Amino acid sequence: GAGVSQSPSNKVTEKGKDVELRCDPISGHTALYWYRQRLGQGLEFLIYFQGNSAPDKSGLPSDRFSAERTGESVSTLTIQRTQQEDSAVYLCASSLQGAGNTIYFGEGSWLTVV
């Protein structure tokens, strides 16, 4: 597609439920990133994919969080047993391989845990 696409755009879930957030990166972008932004806070890095592997997952806050990527394309971020502190906007971004490339962000998935 023309840009990074994320779904759902909004999700309200009950505490304890699992959620899956999807990211479709720009075609041909081998690098894919997940970030989180809680209300009133700055952006936090979660995980980085190069192709289908994740050489840097240091930002995942707990073992309830996991992510995968398939076909060097779509990525899914899964949050198990959601907690209220998981409420945030989850942003996906993609770029061509290499540190010197522009990063393109999706519109984000707004997650509210009630």
Partner 1 sequence: KNEVEQSPQNLTAQEGEFITINCSYSVGISALHWLQQHPGGGIVSLFMLSSGKKKHGRLIATINIQEKHSSLHITASHPRDSAVYICAVRRGGSQGNLIFGKGTKLSVKP
Binding site for partner 1 (CB under 8 A): 31, 33, 35, 37, 42-45, 48, 50, 55-56, 58-59, 89, 91, 93, 97-105, 107-108, 110
Nearer to partner 1, 18 or 56 (CB): 56
The conformation of residue 84, written as its DSSP 8-state character, comes to: G
- Beta carbon of residue 36, minimum distance to partner 1 (angstroms, whole number): 11
Q: Do 66 and 91 contact (CB within 8 A), yes or no?
A: no
Coil vs helix vs strand at 86: helix
Closest CB to partner 1 among 58 and 83? 58
Torsion of CA 47, 114, 21, 44, to 10 degrees: -20
